[in-house]
Amino acid sequence: MLKIIKCAFCSGTGKDPFDLLSPIAHCLVCDGTGQVELEEPLKKCIFCAGTGKNPLGARIPCIVCGGKGRYNCGSQTICFQCNGTGKSTDGLPCTRCGGKGFYGN
């Protein structure tokens, strides 16, 4: 089932949170609507802790959830490589699960 949630990257404002292009630039994640649609069941993105922002410092949307802060978790299996943390030892997303901490579906 599709669920509409607040865009995590712009906190629902619809504006680019980093003013990269201009102060009135649209959020590239939600295209300025402040909302995004995701398929349920949803899980908070563990890589960005639900903020939608790339935790590695770059001013870009989280590479795991695409800036939405959440993703569909379906029928999940905890990733044995990262033990469900979504991170590999170098701080990058786990190569096995793509940073989600689980795989399956």
Site string for Zn ion, 11-50 (x = CB under 5 A): ----------------x-xx--------------x-xx--
45 DSSP assignment = -
The dihedral sign for the CA sequence 39, 45, 48, 54: negative
Decide whether 38 or 47 has the Cβ nearer to Zn ion.
47
Count Cβ atoms below 10 Å from residue 7 Cβ, excluding itself.
25
Site size toward Zn ion (CB under 5 A) is 18
The distance of closest approach from Cβ of residue 79 to Zn ion in the complex, given in angstroms and rounded to an integer, is: 3
Among 4, 5, 10, 42, binds Zn ion (CB under 5 A): 10
Distances (CA, A) of 12 to 4, 35, 45, 78: 11, 6, 17, 30
The distance of closest approach from Cβ of residue 1 to Zn ion in the complex, given in angstroms and rounded to an integer, is: 21
Among 21, 37, 59, 81, binds Zn ion (CB under 5 A): 81
Q: How far apart are the first and last CA of the chain?
A: 15
**What is the rounded distance in angstroms from the CA atom of residue 54 to the CA atom of residue 20?**
15
**Residues in touch with Zn ion (CB under 5 A):** 7, 9-10, 27, 29-30, 45, 47-48, 62, 64-65, 79, 81-82, 94, 96-97
